[in-house]
Amino acid sequence: MTATAAPLPALAPPRRATALARRLAWLAVIWGLPGLFILVPLLTFLVYGFWRVEGAEIVADFTLANYVNFLSNETYPRVFLRTLGLALQVMAINVVLGYATAYFLAQIRGRTRYLLVLALIVPLLMSYIIKVYAMRGLLGANGLLNQALMFVGVLDRPSNLFLFNLTAVLITLTVVLLPFVVLPVFIALERIPRSYVDASADLGATPWRTFRHVVLPLSLPGTVVGAMFCFVLAVGDFLAPQLVGGTRGFTYGRVVFSQFGMAFNWPFGAALSVILLAVAMTVIGVAGRLGNPRWMRR
Amino acid sequence: MAHAAGGRLEIRGIGKTYGGARVLDAIDLTVENGEFLTILGPSGSGKTTLLRLIGGFTDASEGRILFDGIDMTPVPIYRRPFNTVFQDYALFPHMTVGQNIGYGLTVRGEKKATIGEAVAEALSVVALDDYAGRYPAQLSGGQQQRVALARALICRPKLILLDEPLAALDAELRRQMQKFLKSIQRQVRVTFLFVTHDQHEAITMSDRICVINDGRVEQVGTPEEIYYRPRTGFVATFFGENNLLPGRLTDGAGPWTVDTAFGPVACADRRLAELAPNAAVTIAVRPEALRVAAINGAPHDDAPGDTRLEAEARSVDFVGPVSQITAVCPAAPDRPLLVKTASRAGGTAVRPGDRLTLVWAAADCAAMAGVAADPPAAGP
């Protein structure tokens, strides 16, 4: 017995070492890939933002000029604030529309409910450009919106109010981003057991009070997540404004885009991106707080 | 906690059909003020549906529910003076224990101070004084159960509906909670309508039991009546084991004799007076009422008895406090009789193969009109 057992302690340390090496390898993969593909590009932007451009050359010496330029300029902060306002509007409209849609979906029983949810997911799988182009068709002078309004008698002739301005961007982003609110809210609502609603009514709450005290608070985390998706995606978008915004629908995303294109000022573009990133991160942070209230943490 | 007087519930001809399936059929039941009444039935019998109809969570297909004489059928859930303790407790996870308990008063717009006092009182009733600030997820199953009860009590309902509230608890905790529920019910003097599929729970807690099966009321009575005077074969076998002896009534005047395959059986059940001579009758005798008077001709248990049977012991099983003997009577070999005797150290004197003389008293026989169905193959 002792003779056969003796070699074991000698073998143990190398085995433990392999286990450790394997763990480290896994950690390297888990942290390394996102680090390489997400963190490094972001850091590159951060660094670029402190460089400057001279003619067609990017000069790598430290300067705060890009940030000073942003703040001292008259246009950029205005476009920035306007874009924030736009994203907030898109978010507010979509929270109301998306919550109502999700609530309606959650009330439906049986197979119809999931068919409708599927119909909502399909657009998410489609190309973003195609969706924006489709919206351009709907909003144009001969588009569905104008046709419908004329048919009903609200308009006498096609209006140009719905295309190539900020309203067009607002409508397009609202429509395109709606599923991002509906889905998390729907999941949150679907998770509320029927017995909570029964218990609330049983304790004397009218349907409205049950909604306000039980259903709404329990679906709030999902709603916050949906609102966050909507805001972050809207505030940085440049494709929709580019395609339906025209000259009047100028947004921050387009400013950033132009710095990397026509203007060829990568360091300034990078600095503008960092500002946008800071806003997005702040919103995500706040949403993370609101979306995970104390009662959800065990 | 003082509760307003009143609390008599009358269920009249309630029926419920779900997509063509008859779930409840012509249910009549009266629950008296302050009573602890248990609706007992196997799963799928319709007992939870009945409770949900009374609570107002589902509408009845027909019939009326009267409470203190007032028709409750058109009254929405949130206006019915009942409160429910749910099987899964249904505590709101985003509210603290205190907020959960106070909910019924909060939605009625009571003053904060009033709610605070009532919550503190309710917490002390269920012995959870220091738990007001906790969230439901931080409580054990038994504690959540007590919070659910306190939440139902705070609205001072005249009737509390309990839907298998102890089903999720382990055996020991369930026994404690049974005692606890019973003591609370005595203390607050409120009518309890309790749903369970557990016969033991029903017997130990209830003033009266309503046994339902296949959407129909089988019998309503005190635990003793249900146990010793079952009205149907289902009731006779749903509560523990029973020996069923089908036969015919021989003479119309008491003490009665019923002719069975086992021979003539004496029965003192007064319900036989209502039956005509030669009517089909099934006798039910509890296994513990059967005594072994003699083993292989030698006297054993000196018990008096009105009915005497010769049988052969087939098996003897020790099951703790009692030993179960299965004995077969030559006259009715397809209907083995079950005998339960108190266990003694050293085992019982009966061995498989022994010739036994079984006796029992006429008073221990329950008579059911008609030919009762055979006991179900497997109990619930």
* pLDDT given for residue A107 in this prediction: 92
Candidate from A196, A206, A218 with C-beta closest to B90: A196
CA dist., res. A103 & res. A187, Å (int):
10
The distance of A5 to chain B (nearest Cα, Å) reads: 45
- Is the pLDDT score of B146 beyond 50? yes
* pLDDT given for residue A2 in this prediction: 44
- Is the pLDDT score of B378 beyond 60? no
Q: For residue range B62-110, list pLDDT tens digits in order.
A: 999 999 999 999 999 999 999 999 999 999 999 999 999 999 999 999 9
CA dist., res. B325 & res. B304, Å (int):
19
CA dist., res. B16 & res. B73, Å (int):
13
* pLDDT given for residue A12 in this prediction: 52
Q: Do B90 and A218 touch (CB under 8 A)?
A: no
* pLDDT given for residue A41 in this prediction: 87
Q: Which pLDDT band holds residue B346 (cuts at 50, 70, 90)?
A: low
Q: Which of B356, B363, B364 is nearest to B293 (CA)?
A: B356
Structure tokens at B85: 């303790």
A-chain CB neighbours of B155 within 8 Å are 203-204
Residue in chain B closest to A212 (alpha carbons) equals B107
Structure tokens at B191: 């009518």
Question: Once rounded to an integer, what is the mean pLDDT over residues A172-196?
Answer: 95
Q: What share of chain A is helix, strand, coil (3-state, %, to 5)?
A: 75, 0, 20
- Is the pLDDT score of B377 beyond 60? no
Q: Measured between alpha carbons, how far is residue A259 from residues A116, A164, B116, B287, B349 in Å?
A: 42, 21, 61, 94, 102
The distance of B154 to chain A (nearest Cα, Å) reads: 9
Candidate from A213, A217, A295 with C-beta closest to B107: A213
* pLDDT given for residue B163 in this prediction: 93
To the nearest whole number, what is the mean pLDDT of chain B?
89
Candidate from B93, B107, B138 with C-beta closest to A203: B107
Structure tokens at B303: 């018990």
* pLDDT given for residue B379 in this prediction: 36
Span of A31-45, A223-237, B111-125, B335-349 with lowest mean pLDDT? B335-349
Residue with the two structure tokens 């003479």: B251
CA dist., res. A54 & res. A91, Å (int):
40
To the nearest whole number, what is the mean pLDDT of chain A?
89
Q: Do A295 and B88 touch (CB under 8 A)?
A: no
* pLDDT given for residue A6 in this prediction: 47
Q: Which residues of B280-293 are buried (b: 16+ CB within 10 A; e: fewer)?
A: ebbbbbbbbbbbbb
Q: Which pLDDT band holds residue B349 (cuts at 50, 70, 90)?
A: confident
Q: Do B88 and A199 touch (CB under 8 A)?
A: no
Q: Which pLDDT band holds residue B318 (cuts at 50, 70, 90)?
A: confident
- Is the pLDDT score of A7 beyond 60? no
Yes or no: say if A189 and A244 are a contact pair by the CB < 8 Å rule: no
The distance of A33 to chain B (nearest Cα, Å) reads: 37
* pLDDT given for residue B319 in this prediction: 84
DSSP label at A212?
I
Q: Which of B177, B178, B200, B162 is nearest to B82 (CA)?
A: B162
CA dist., res. B295 & res. B303, Å (int):
13
Q: Measured between alpha carbons, how far apart are the two ends of chain B, in Å?
A: 38
Question: Once rounded to an integer, what is the mean pLDDT over residues A122-127?
Answer: 89
Phi, psi of B279 (to 5 degrees): -70, 150
**Is the pLDDT higher at A212 or at B305?**
A212
Give the total residue count for chain A: 298
* pLDDT given for residue B374 in this prediction: 54
Question: Once rounded to an integer, what is the mean pLDDT over residues B245-271?
Answer: 86
CA dist., res. B208 & res. B34, Å (int):
12
Residue in chain A closest to B151 (alpha carbons) equals A203
CA dist., res. A173 & res. A168, Å (int):
8
Candidate from B78, B95, B155 with C-beta closest to A206: B78
User: Rg for chain B (alpha carbons), in Å?
Assistant: 25
**Is the pLDDT higher at A12 or at B75?**
B75
Q: Do A295 and B155 touch (CB under 8 A)?
A: no
Question: Once rounded to an integer, what is the mean pLDDT over residues B273-294?
Answer: 90
Residue with the two structure tokens 């998770």: A191
CA dist., res. B325 & res. B316, Å (int):
5
B-chain CB neighbours of A200 within 8 Å are 92, 103, 107
Q: Which of B5, B1, B69, B56 is nearest to B34 (CA)?
A: B5
% of chain A at pLDDT higher than 90: 54
CA dist., res. B289 & res. B276, Å (int):
27
- Is the pLDDT score of B344 beyond 50? yes
Q: Measured between alpha carbons, how far is residue B98 from residues A188, A239, B104, B236 in Å?
A: 24, 51, 11, 45
Q: Which of A9, A16, A34 is nearest to A24 (CA)?
A: A16
Sign of torsion over alpha carbons A99, A104, A106, A107: positive
> Helix or strand or coil: residue B54?
helix
Q: Do B55 and A206 touch (CB under 8 A)?
A: no
B-chain CB neighbours of A294 within 8 Å are 135
Q: Under an 8 Å CB criterion, which residues of A touch B?
A: 193, 195-196, 198-207, 209, 213-214, 217-218, 293-296, 298
- Is the pLDDT score of B121 beyond 90? yes
Q: Do B103 and A205 touch (CB under 8 A)?
A: yes
Q: Identify the helix (H) or strand (E) that includes residue A43.
A: helix A40-48
Q: Do A204 and B94 touch (CB under 8 A)?
A: no
* pLDDT given for residue A5 in this prediction: 46
- Is the pLDDT score of A3 beyond 50? no
Span of A10-24, A249-263, B168-182, B238-252 with lowest mean pLDDT? A10-24
* pLDDT given for residue A13 in this prediction: 57
**Contact B78/A at CB under 8 A:** yes
Phi, psi of B83 (to 5 degrees): -135, 155
* pLDDT given for residue B372 in this prediction: 62
**Contact B167/A at CB under 8 A:** no
Q: Do A202 and B55 touch (CB under 8 A)?
A: yes
ipTM > 0.90 for the complex: no
Candidate from B55, B108, B135 with C-beta closest to A204: B108
Residue in chain A closest to B96 (alpha carbons) equals A295
Structure tokens at B12: 């009249």
Helices (H) and strands (E) in chain A, counts: 15, 2
Q: For residue range B186-237, list pLDDT tens digits in order.
A: 888 889 999 999 999 999 999 999 999 999 999 999 999 999 999 999 999 9
Sign of torsion over alpha carbons A251, A253, A256, A261: negative
Q: Do A198 and B57 touch (CB under 8 A)?
A: yes
Q: Do B83 and A203 touch (CB under 8 A)?
A: yes
CA dist., res. A284 & res. B231, Å (int):
68
* pLDDT given for residue B347 in this prediction: 67
- Is the pLDDT score of B162 beyond 80? yes
Residue in chain A closest to B159 (alpha carbons) equals A202
- Is the pLDDT score of B334 beyond 60? yes
- Is the pLDDT score of B167 beyond 50? yes
B-chain CB neighbours of A298 within 8 Å are 137-138
* pLDDT given for residue A204 in this prediction: 94
Q: For residue range A57-82, list pLDDT tens digits in order.
A: 888 888 899 999 999 988 899 999 99
Could you tell me which residues come within 8 angstroms of residue A21 by beta carbon, excluding any fewer than 6 positions away?
none
Helical segments of B239-299, H only: none
The distance of B162 to chain A (nearest Cα, Å) reads: 12
Q: For residue range A277-289, list pLDDT tens digits in order.
A: 999 999 999 998 8
The distance of A111 to chain B (nearest Cα, Å) reads: 17
CA dist., res. A229 & res. B91, Å (int):
31
Yes or no: say if B359 and B338 are a contact pair by the CB < 8 Å rule: no
Residue with the two structure tokens 């959407």: B215
B-chain CB neighbours of A195 within 8 Å are 86-88, 90
- Is the pLDDT score of B376 beyond 50? no
- Is the pLDDT score of B32 beyond 70? yes
Structure tokens at B373: 């169905």
Sign of torsion over alpha carbons B312, B317, B319, B320: positive
> Helix or strand or coil: residue A232?
helix
**CA B108 from centroid of its chain's CA atoms:** 35
* pLDDT given for residue B301 in this prediction: 79
Q: Do A204 and B104 touch (CB under 8 A)?
A: yes
